[in-house]
Structure formats: structure tokens, C-alpha cells
Amino acid sequence: MMLWSWILGTALAGGLAGTPPAPIVRITVDSARHELIITSGPFDLPNMPPMEDHAMMDLGMSHDTRLQRFEWPVNGWFRGFRVELVDRHGNAVPPHVMHHMIMVNFSRRQLLYSAAERLMGTGTETGEVSVPKTIGVPMKPGMKLGMYVAWHNDTGKDLEGVSLKLTMLWTPKNQNPPPVNALPIYMDVNLTVGGQNTFDVPPGKSTKAYEFTLPVGGRLLGVGGHMHDYGRNVRLEDAETGKVLTQVKAKRDAEGKLVKVSRKLFGVSGEGLRLKPKHRYRVVGEYDNPTGELLVKGAMASMVGLFVPDDMRRWPAVDPRDPTYQRDLASLDGRGGHDAHDVPSSPHAGHESHE
């Protein structure tokens, strides 16, 4: 078995007075198991009051880490992950303390937006997540990744020296037949790249929509969604015919508060949901707000999925000079750097991609 590891420095720490240094990231490649093990920490997590709802998270009731950068080391396909948390003594920490974790790939852009790819996102309830070995996200050595975590420790006691162990599963280059390239796709009804994706919800029924075209056609293998309280559904529609192509639905409690959002799988071996290039589509978020009041910036609606492009060469390239891409980078680099003098200007930047 070949096993090697190295430590990446705190490249982000320079220059920002009053902010704690970025935690150390250590990467180990286990090429026998085809696992990449990323450990990060230590983090000191003071106890916080429990959050009543998702909106409190959005108001900054969490502790965000800074972006921790590292390079993807192997040739192959990323196909899944699992997360474990331990304290200084090696004891397990309740997984829900990690509210969410986002992995960014700066070396590839998103299909809809001139923003860095969000390679993966995980919330509190996730165990191991993986896709069959017949599909995977194509990865090359040297791809520049970054991760950040939003903590919310409501265990009733302070936690010190917590470290995070993220195991990323990959499929080697020589697998025969090779996996089909499947990439994350993110469709938000109201995203300003590098800014916010929240919007106001009037009383009663309402919708918010975003129209787009794709530079390359392909097929969607499955979708999930993200909404806040009083959400009904997120739909993908053909904007030229008005036909609903697929939707994920919110499960709500008696008061209309969000319990969870359904997912849809079109089958990884089947055709999936076919999307054409240069055709107008729209993603629509529907809310039904029974409170009788305007909920200011109270909503989000997005759909995420895995997309198999017909031709990987037509995937749009990162343009580092594009002001939109630069805004995305600036908002990611600014994460977790706030102190008493520096109120975060975009608390939702990055929140958009957790499910």
C-alpha cells in the first residue's frame, strides 16, 4: 500500500489583523482504498444557544471557519465522502455540531454561473454519501480546492480542540470502463454571485424564478433542493413551453415550517432528464406564507443536481478576470474573518450550496 501525507500551511492567514489563523489542513492519500483523508483543526467551539430555525443560522448564529485551501492530489473521479468529528482526546463529537461544510473547486466554474464549482456540500444529517462507481466528478492533480465549515455547538458545553476528518472517495484513472463524467449543477432562483440569494416572501402564495440557457447539453441524473420555512416546491421548467420538467417538494409541519425537501433520482444508468443547449429553462421557487406578513429576506430556493455533459470540452472555463468570478473569490476569502469591527456583508455567500 502506498500511503503518503503532507501538511499545507496557513496560506490564508497573512495580512488580516485580529482574525485567527486558518486551521491546519492535512491530507493523506490512501491509494489502496482510493480514499483521500483530509483532517482540519483544531477548532474551539464555544457553546451557543439552540437555533429555533434555519433563519437564525442565516442571521449569523453560527461560527464560520475561514476558507482552508488545498490541492487535489490524484487523477481520477471524486465519487463520495464521509465526515467524522473528534475532540482533542479522540472522542466522537456529535455530528450535528457541524451545521454545514462546503467544498469549493476553484479550478472549474459552475455551469450556470461565473463562480467556482461547489464540489460538495454536507449538512448535519449526512452520513456517508456516494454515487455508484459508474459515474464520478472528473478531477486532476493540482486542482485548487477550498473548504469551510459553519459550526453550531448547542451541546450545552464548550468544545475544545475539535478536529474534522473528511474522507473523500475516488475512482482511479485506470478503471475500465471509465466512469461517466457527472458534475454538480446549481440552479438558484435569486443568486447574486458573491452576494446574497435570499429574497422577500409576501403573504400567501408567491413564486420567484430565474431563467437560463446552458452552453452544453446533457442529462440530469438527480436533483435535490433547498428552501426555508413556508416553501412549497422548487421546479425546473422549460421556459419555452412552460412545461414542468421536474420538481422537489417541501415537507412542511402544521404551521408551514420546513421539515425537509424531497429529492429526485432519474436513475444513474438510465437516460436521466435530458437538457438541451441554448434552450431556455427556468428554476422556480414557490412559497405559501400563512403569517400574513412580508418576510424580509426570509427565503431561499435552489435546486442542485448531478449533470452529465454531452461534451466535457464545452464546459465553460474559469475566467479569472471576470468581475463576477472575482466577487465570488472575494466573498469566499472573506469568510469567517469578521470580528467586532467587521460585520460580514454577505452572510449567505456560500450558504447557497448546502441542501
Contacting positions for Cu ion (CB under 5 A)? 300
CB of 67 closer than 8 Å to CB of 172: no
Residue at shortest CB range from Cu ion? 300
Q: In whole angstroms, how close is the CB of 243 to Cu ion at the nearest point?
A: 28
Q: How far is the CB of 191 from Cu ion (least distance, A)?
A: 12
- Return the number of other C-beta atoms located less than 10 Å from residue 88's C-beta: 13
Q: Give min distance, CB of 16 to Cu ion, in A.
A: 27
**How many helices and strands in the chain, by DSSP H and E?**
2, 25
283/300 with CB nearer Cu ion: 300
Residue 117 makes CB contacts below 8 A (sequence gap 6+) with 104, 105, 107, 108, 109, 110, 183, 184
91, amino acid identity? N
The CB-of-269 to Cu ion minimum distance in angstroms stands at: 32
Rounded least distance, CB 335 to Cu ion, Å: 16
Q: Which is nearer to Cu ion, 112 or 299 (CB)?
A: 299
- When the beta carbons of 146 and 350 are compared against Cu ion, the nearer one is 350
What distance, in Å, lies between the first and last C-alpha atoms of the chain?
A: 36
In the numeric block, which cell numbers belong to residue 96? 450535528
> Residue 16 or 258: which CB sits closer to Cu ion?
258
Residue given cell 456516494 in the structure block: 130
Which residue lies nearer to Cu ion by CB, 116 or 300?
A: 300
Choice between 25 and 300, CB closer to Cu ion: 300
Closest alpha carbon to 161 in 292, 45, 33, 321: 45
Question: What's the burial of 276, exposed, middle or buried (CB within 10 Å: 0-12/13-18/19+)?
Answer: middle
Tell me the closest approach of the beta carbon of residue 55 to Cu ion, in angstroms. Answer: 8
User: Could you give the CA distance from residue 128 to residue 135 in angstroms, rounded to a whole number?
Assistant: 17
Measured from the CB atom, is 169 or 295 closer to Cu ion?
295
For the bound state, the minimum distance from the C-beta of residue 302 to Cu ion, rounded and expressed in Å, comes to 8
Half-sphere exposure of 237 (CA within 13 A, CB side): 20
* Parallel, antiparallel or unpaired: strands 244-252 and 258-261: antiparallel
